Amino acid sequence: MNLLVERARSYIGTPYRHRGRTPRGLDCAGLPWRSYADLGVVLPDLKIYGREPYKDGLVQAMIAALGDPVWRGKKPSRTMLQVGDVVACAFVEEPHHLGVIGDDILYGLSMIHADGNVNKAVIEQGLDDRLLSRIVAIFRRPV
């Protein structure tokens, strides 16, 4: 079992909270940051951002925290992803959502993320083609 995935999964059901960094509330950036912190890895954090975090330096903050992406583009192949990767997603053009790649029986991979739209909580969902097509950067920092 991947330690980062294990920690991220421990927050499933945690309420969504914009800029949240505690077990009482997390957002999509707070989930990987909190999961790494739980494992003793202190990362630089982007604490102040609006509802469109790409305008406030989301990708630059990810690079500062996790290093250069191992891949950047549009719709990676499943073989590029590894369990424990942190991914940036774009729902329109610019990356503004983060998730942690897990494993799934049906899809082979899943994404654990703080969903602020529908579920209003940290969830894990199978990485179907629709979600895969939204990934625009893959970050890999083993614990």
CATH architecture of 3-139: Alpha-Beta Complex (3.90)
Mean pLDDT, all residues of the chain: 91
Per DSSP, what are the bridge partners of residue 22?
Answer: 25
SS3 content of the chain, % helix, strand, coil (to 5): 25, 25, 50
Which pLDDT score is estimated for 50? 65
Query: Per the structure block, which two tokens stand in for 21?
Result: 């960094």
Beta strands of the chain (E only): which ranges? 21-22, 25-26, 71-72, 86-89, 97-102, 110-115, 121-126, 135-139
- Residue 17's nearest CA partner among 107, 114, 93, 91 is 114
Burial-class residue 63 by CB neighbours within 10 Å (0-12, 13-18, 19+).
middle
Backbone angles phi, psi at 70, to 5 degrees: -80, -15
Query: For 40-60, how does the pLDDT look when each residue is reduced to its tens digit (9 = 90+)?
Result: 999 988 776 766 666 666 788
12/71 Cα distance (integer angstroms)? 27
- Residue 125 predicted with pLDDT over 90: yes
Angle at 47 between CA 74 and CA 103, to 5 degrees: 45
Query: Per the structure block, which two tokens stand in for 15?
Result: 């309420």
Q: Give the neighbor-by-neighbor strand order of the sheet with 121-126.
A: 71-72, 135-139, 86-89, 97-102, 110-115, 121-126
Query: For 58-79, how does the pLDDT look when each residue is reduced to its tens digit (9 = 90+)?
Result: 788 889 999 999 999 988 999 9
pTM here is: 0.93
Q: Where are the domains of the chain?
A: 3-139
Give the chain's radius of gyration (CA, Å).
13
Task: Please answer whether residues 131 and 125 qualify as being in contact, where contact means their C-beta atoms are separated by less than 8 angstroms.
Answer: yes
- Name the band, by pLDDT with cuts 50, 70 and 90, for residue 102: very high
- Name the band, by pLDDT with cuts 50, 70 and 90, for residue 133: very high
Which pLDDT score is estimated for 92? 76
